Amino acid sequence: MKPISDAESILMQSLWQRGEATADELRDAVAERTDWQAGTVKALLNRLLTKGAIRAEREGRRFRYRPVLEREEYVAEQSRSLIDRLFDGRVAPLVAHFSQQEALSKSDIDELRRLIEKIDDDQ
């Protein structure tokens, strides 16, 4: 599947949350984050259709859109791409980077500890 742009991912997030929506419903859903008009939303939806990330079903005079691409699949692909591009495929330097940037809260650190313990227990 062709990569999904940042703008397209905003619509995908909304579709994943709702499960389905019309173009107007999506425009309303992203209105707080964007100033997109109906034409912009429809153009992005057409791009997502072409990429096979969503499907459309006619509903009267409009279309209802549903995701084909699973959110988990998208997140895994994007995560792997980020780690490969910026950290030579290694997770530890990513965590170190966030630690050095003081971007980890105490609850983030506690959660990381729990995850590491679970990984150790599972191995």
pLDDT in tens, 16-62: 999 999 999 999 999 999 999 999 999 999 999 999 999 999 999 99
* Cα 108 to the center of its chain, rounded Å: 20
The model's pTM is 0.79
pLDDT above 90 for 75: yes
Q: What is the pLDDT of residues 87-97, one digit of tens each?
A: 999 999 998 89
**Domains of the chain with CATH codes:** 6-67 (1.10.10.10), 71-122 (1.10.4040)
Kindly list the strands in the beta sheet with 54-59, ordered across the sheet, starting from the edge strand earlier in the chain: 21-22, 62-67, 54-59
